[in-house]
Each structure stands twice: as structure tokens, then as C-alpha cells.
Amino acid sequence: MSDQALRTPFSERAGAALRDTSLQQALTLATTKFIGLRKEAFATYPQGERARDQARAIKEATLQRLDHYLNMLADNVERLGGHVHWATTGEEACETILRICRECRVKTVVKSKSMATEEIELNEALEHAGVTPIETDLGEYIIQLAREKPSHIIAPAIHKTRGQVADLFSRVLKGQFPADPEVLTAVARKELRQKFLQADMGITGANFAVADTGTIVLVTNEGNGRMVTSLPRIHVAVMGIDKVIPSMTDLMFFLGILARSATGQKISVYTTLVRGPRQPGELEGPDEFHLILMDNGRARQIASELREALYCLRCGACLNVCPVYRQIGGHAYGYTYPGPIGILLTAMLKGDRAVKDLAHASSLCGACQEVCPVRIDIPRMLIELRQRLDRERIAPLAERVLFKTFAQVLTTPALFRLAATLGRLAQRPFVRGGRLQNLPLVFARWTKGRDLPPVAARTFSERWRELR
């Protein structure tokens, strides 16, 4: 989201999303479907729970020796003839890619879906340098045509109804297309085929990178990822350093749970394993292969409260079940990664100040943790994050004073009783038919949308005497 859009307070961005009826329709439909598919997939996968534990343990162990596995990965990629580039920041990653573009005279780039490249705003950087990036994942293609950002980690155009996509295609691609997903997909395929053939470079992310074989793993459903890695003469893969795993054996645990968590599939339609550039005797594959190992704020979190967020597989399951995400969608969050895990990743990548309000965009219901394939304790980390906001004095002064006063009341029974008495007095003018409907000041935040029972005429503590 642009800086200007981010100046609108989060609560207003959320409010706008709540009033957007087609967004509401699209979100309910898609998230409900994803939830059902995931549930069904794990119900028929008895090894699932163990695989989740195993996958979590692998992530834990890998982070313990992250430098070791990254070096192993880099060595193996280079041994296969690939080039490895280390990038501390997103800008560095973009610069590296632009340099390769300049050196190899790249005019057109085809991309498969990658959150890492969204994170570093690579498309903007490429366009700025006169290189044309073309998204080839259908959802990404849709939002690129609409000049928007993804609103879901795996379903970037989840906020759009099929009718909106038909209108978009008709307008931009100059035709008359019906709101029929099959027709629209065929239209996109035809448009994209030409682009694939023109492209000088293919850019992908990486779902996993296997250290001991130097393999980049891409999990996709449309086959575009495979074409991106094999048709153009150069392949660049951009990955966060959290994506490395030790071995192919480890990979099996992840593949079993990733697609099930994301889309309810046993395995995605395409699982593409890429090892370096085209080897002697091979018929397909690029002349050059580049791997960008990007930190961009990750490494410093290894020892922080947010450490577990580095286990994230980017499956999107926590978004689908999050009551907040299901109401407001991804754009309202304002950053690349939406939903409960997105709040943590945003804190990681953009700093705590960026999540001053977002840290509270959760009822802490725990549904996210329950579905997370690697059981990331997202609610706990949101609470930790809130604690940091107080400690770093990022939380508003008024809030901090309020909560500290509140603590004083809760530790002083006489004050607690006084608060009850004051509440009873103050509510008097507002009680109608045994309920409060129209409270002023901050209390209006409750009564705007629901009633409140009045403070009881006699609290339980006061009634206890006659109950003994």
C-alpha cells in the first residue's frame, strides 16, 4: 500500500473494508471454502499431526544453525554452476536483480507468484529501470492488470469477485468477456503465452531451498512456475533466509502439510525442483541461474520474541480462519503480509512502530495457531508484541496511563468497589428497559453496535452475605 494510503488510520481502512459489499461477499465465499477444504484434507491424513510436529522441529533446528545451512545451500548452488547473491536489505536484493538485468540486457521478465518479491516491491523497481515485469500466476496477473497489491498470501485476488475480474479483463484486454472462470483463465493463458516466449528472465520465489542438494522448491498449481524457470535464458530465485531446510527427507514433511493447509490438496499440482542452470546434456533450463539470499530484517529476529514467525510456510491458513481477516480482507492491513501472521512479519520487516495499531487487530481467539501447519503460537507473539509497544513507548501515552490506572484499581478492592458505585450512578440517565444503548464518550465504542447490561444494582460480592 502507498505511504499515503497508510496515513489513513487502520480503523478507518478496516471500516471502509466492512462497508465494501462485494469485498465482503468475496471474502466470506473464499475463506469458508478454504476452511472446509483444509479440514477435509487433514481429516483424511492421519500422519498429519506428526508431520506438523516434525516440520516444526525441523524449522526450529534449522534456525539454530541457520548460517551453517545457508552456507551449505550457497556452496551447493555454486557447485551446480549457479550464482549466489547475499542481500541484507530489500533494496540490495532489488539492486542485484537490476544489475543482472543490465548486464544481460533484459527487457522483459516473467514472474511466478512470490511474496518475497512483493515484500521488496521488485515490480516497481523493475518498471522504474525500464524492465517490464509480467506476473504469470492468474491471481497475480489479475491484480497486476488492476494495478493493485495481493490481499492474501496464496490467493492474491481473493478480494475480487468473478464479475469484477470479467469487467477488468474486458476493460484492459479490450474484449467482451463473461464472468466465467474457465473463459477468463483461457483469456489469461493466451495473453501470457506470448509473454513467456518473449521474456529474457524468469523470476521466482522459493517455497523451500534444500541445503544439502542446492535445490530450490516451488509449489504451484498452474504450471506457470515451471515455465518461468525453464523457458527464459535466465532464472532468478529470490528467497528469505528463513526458507532453507537441511535435506530432501525434511522436504517430504513440509510437502505433506503445505498444500493441505493452503488449499486442501494432498499435494499441489506442480512441485518444481530446480537445481542450478541447465546442465550439460540437459535439454531444458536456463543458461544462468541466480539465487538471492535475502535477510531484510529476518536474522535479527532469531533471538527475539518473534522468532517463531520465521517458521512460517506462507500457506495462508491463518488468514482464512482469522475472524478479523475474514471481515476486513488483506488490503486494510496496509502491508505486504496480511492476517495474524502478517502482523508479526510486518513488525519483523518494518519495525514495531508500523504495527502500533495492527498489533491489536486480533481478538486472540487462537484459531490461527490451531490451523498453522507448524503450530506457530501467533496469539502469544501478538501479546509479546503488545508488550514491546508499551516497553518501547510506542503505545499511546493515554493508553499506557489508562492501563496502569486500571491496574491500580484492580489491586485496591476499595477502589474496585468505588468504581462499581460510580458506574451505577453514572449509568442512571442512560438505562432504558434494563439496558444501556446510547452511552457517551469512550463507552459509545461499545454501545454503537450492541447493548450493554447495566452494572448490577447489587454486585455478587454484595449479594454473597445473604448466600452464605
Is 370 near another protein (CB under 8 A)? yes
Is 390 near another protein (CB under 8 A)? yes
Residue with cell 496502569: 404
Q: How far is residue 145's CA from residue 167's CA, in Å, rounded to a whole number?
A: 11
Is 375 near another protein (CB under 8 A)? no
Query: Of 78 and 305, which CB lies nearer to another protein in the complex structure?
Result: 305
Closest CA to 151 of 111, 188, 115, 203: 115
Buried b (16+ CB within 10 A) or exposed e, 216-247: bbbbbbbebbbbbbbbbbbbbbbbbbbbbbbe
Query: Of 109 and 455, which CB lies nearer to another protein in the complex structure?
Result: 455
Are the C-beta atoms of residues 203 and 251 closer than 8 Å to each other? no
Closest CA to 268 of 37, 4, 77, 75: 37
In the list 8, 15, 45, 198, the residue contacting another protein (rule: CB under 8 A) is 15
Are the C-beta atoms of residues 168 and 147 closer than 8 Å to each other? no
User: Vertex 114, ends 127 and 174: CA angle to 5°?
Assistant: 55
Is 409 near another protein (CB under 8 A)? yes
Q: Which stretch binds another protein (CB under 8 A): 130-138, 147-155, 320-328, 336-344?
A: 320-328
Query: Of 279 and 408, which CB lies nearer to another protein in the complex structure?
Result: 408
Query: Of 49 and 464, which CB lies nearer to another protein in the complex structure?
Result: 464
The residue count for binding another protein (CB under 8 A) is: 61
Q: How far is residue 116's CA from residue 56's CA, in Å, rounded to a whole number?
A: 21
User: Vertex 97, ends 93 and 102: CA angle to 5°?
Assistant: 145
Q: Which stretch binds another protein (CB under 8 A): 74-82, 157-165, 264-272, 457-465?
A: 457-465
Is 389 near another protein (CB under 8 A)? yes
- How many Å separate Cα 167 from the centre of its chain? 27
Is 18 near another protein (CB under 8 A)? yes
- Shortest Cβ distance from residue 445 to another protein (Å)? 4
Write each residue from 345 to 364 as x if it is in contact with another protein (CB under 8 A), else as -, in one continuous string.
--------------xxxxxx
In the list 413, 418, 425, 438, the residue contacting another protein (rule: CB under 8 A) is 413
Q: At what angle do helices 248-262 and 21-43 cross, to 10 degrees?
A: 130
Quick one: which H or E segment has residue 133?
Answer: strand 132-135
- Shortest Cβ distance from residue 146 to another protein (Å)? 25
Is 283 near another protein (CB under 8 A)? no
Is 442 near another protein (CB under 8 A)? yes
What residues make contact with another protein under the rule CB under 8 A?
Answer: 11, 14-15, 18, 323-324, 327-328, 359-367, 369-370, 383-390, 395, 403-404, 406-407, 409-411, 413, 416, 420, 423, 435, 437, 442, 445-446, 448-453, 455-456, 458-464, 467-468
